[in-house]
Amino acid sequence: MRRARLARLRDALAAGLFLLIPLFASTDGRALIFPSPEFEPTSPVPPDFPYWENVTQRRYEGPSVIYLGNGWALTARHVGMGEIFLEGRVYVPDIRSHHTLLNLNGTAADAMLFRLRADADLPDLPLLPLARDPLQPDEEVLVIGFGRGREKVIEWIDPNDPHQRHEFAFAWSRSGRKRWGTNRIVSNHQILVQKNWRTHAVTFRFDPPNSPSVTPHEAQAAVGDSGGAVFVQREGEWLLAGMMTSVSARYLTPKESSAYGDTTYAADISFYRSEIIRWARPDCANEEDDDGDGKVDFPLDPDCRAATDPSERHVRLLTESQAWLIGVSGFGAILISILWLKRREAS
Ligand SMILES: [Ca+2]
Ligand SMILES: [Ca+2]
Ligand SMILES: [Ca+2]
């Protein structure tokens, strides 16, 4: 079992040189930062990826939200609950449904679930498979978010640099669009401490084009990517493995920009998986034998007609003789009440 390790934030907070930024501000900023146009994907949607529509955003402030399916949404706690878009339509949350995800010691993580109103006509989007095992160092990931994009290159000089070398950063755009990119995991055992939240997190780093660890669509999160998704493909199946919450940058990097070496933090979905399943999965997809018949979930439990079925205890289809008996007794009941009414009328 993995145990909580205290925050060292090795990549981020060493000697106070780094600044940790939650990826949310009240802007309509969108999209990820790429090192150069050649790294930006040419395809608007990742190839052979079935969950593009499950990554969405809040209606007004614009940060990212992951739709888990079955009416439940996951986002960062600092983003919070709100109306979200699904397939272009607005859906309203059930305000009583929110749950902050918790660590083993009961402290709160910067991650929360909320449910859309039960009376909504929800789109037919799939249940997102959740990674059981944490992302491993060097594992390549697909990241999707609505954070800001790269606008232009800015040049700056660190006043503490004795050589006064020119450095570069990418200024964020004011707005953008939903985008995807790739990166490679650096660490999977960070505990991110921000405000009152402690979040088990994985990290990835924004690498320059000539780095041996750069990925084909190397991307760094920016403001607005909070709540954005980190997916991994294992044995041919795409799994949700992280939810972006924060970036760290060198303290002196110009504001609202990204530079090589910046780190993105994402909540480790495998760590919070059992809690997510407990709240957000219907009985036929919660990995438990809810009715004690020894069969777990769809398709193994014969009472589950689909993974989205809310109960493992469906009334079995009536046999013909049972149906006939009920029909007769129903008919009998109607007959009795008609006779009773007639008697009342007669008296
Ligand atoms: Ca990287
Ligand atoms: Ca079950
Ligand atoms: Ca069962």
The pLDDT, as a whole number, for residue 329 is: 44
Distance CA(231)–CA(228), nearest Å, equals 10
pLDDT at 6 over 50: no
Q: What is the pLDDT of residues 89-132, one digit of tens each?
A: 999 999 999 999 999 999 999 999 999 999 999 999 999 999 99
Which-ligand-closest: CA of 204? 1
| Dihedral angle, C-alpha 232, 235, 236, 237, nearest 10 ° | -60
The pLDDT, as a whole number, for residue 34 is: 86
The pLDDT, as a whole number, for residue 32 is: 80
Which-ligand-closest: CA of 261? 1
The pLDDT, as a whole number, for residue 267 is: 97
283-297 average pLDDT score = 94
Q: What is the pLDDT of residues 9-59, one digit of tens each?
A: 333 232 334 455 666 543 333 358 888 788 889 899 999 999 999 999 999
Distance CA(53)–CA(125), nearest Å, equals 8
Distance 14 CA to ligand 2 centre (A): 45
The pLDDT, as a whole number, for residue 330 is: 44
pLDDT at 252 over 80: yes
In Å, how far are 117, 144, 227, 277, 282 from 70, measured between CA atoms? Answer: 11, 21, 18, 11, 7
Q: What is the pLDDT of residues 307-338, one digit of tens each?
A: 999 999 865 554 544 444 444 444 444 455 55
Distance 292 CA to ligand 2 centre (A): 9
Contact yes or no for 102/69 (Cβ under 8 A): no
The pLDDT, as a whole number, for residue 230 is: 98
**340: Cα within 13 Å, side-chain hemisphere:** 6
Which-ligand-closest: CA of 217? 1
Distance CA(329)–CA(162), nearest Å, equals 95
More confident residue, 332 or 285: 285
Which-ligand-closest: CA of 287? 2
Distance CA(198)–CA(103), nearest Å, equals 8
The pLDDT, as a whole number, for residue 347 is: 55
pLDDT at 342 over 80: no
Distance 304 CA to ligand 3 centre (A): 8
pLDDT at 341 over 70: no
Distance 303 CA to ligand 1 centre (A): 46
Which-ligand-closest: CA of 311? 2
Distance 67 CA to ligand 3 centre (A): 26
Which-ligand-closest: CA of 278? 2
The environment of the single-atom ion ligand 2, i.e. residues with CB closer than 5 A, is 283, 286, 288, 290, 297
Q: What is the pLDDT of residues 158-190, one digit of tens each?
A: 888 899 999 889 998 887 579 999 999 999 999
Read off the pTM.
Answer: 0.82
Contact partners, residue 96, CB within 8 Å, separation at least 6: none
Distance 290 CA to ligand 3 centre (A): 5
Which-ligand-closest: CA of 143? 1
Which-ligand-closest: CA of 216? 1
Mean pLDDT of the chain: 84
- Confidence band of 250 (pLDDT split at 50, 70, 90): confident
64-85 average pLDDT score = 96
The pLDDT, as a whole number, for residue 217 is: 95
Q: Strands, DSSP E only, in the chain? A: 18-22, 55-57, 64-69, 72-75, 84-86, 89-91, 99-102, 108-115, 140-145, 150-157, 166-172, 179-194, 197-205, 229-234, 237-250, 257-258, 263-268
Distance 222 CA to ligand 2 centre (A): 38
Other CB atoms within 10 A of residue 18 CB: 20
Contact yes or no for 200/257 (Cβ under 8 A): no
The pLDDT, as a whole number, for residue 7 is: 35
Residue percentage of the chain with pLDDT more than 70: 81
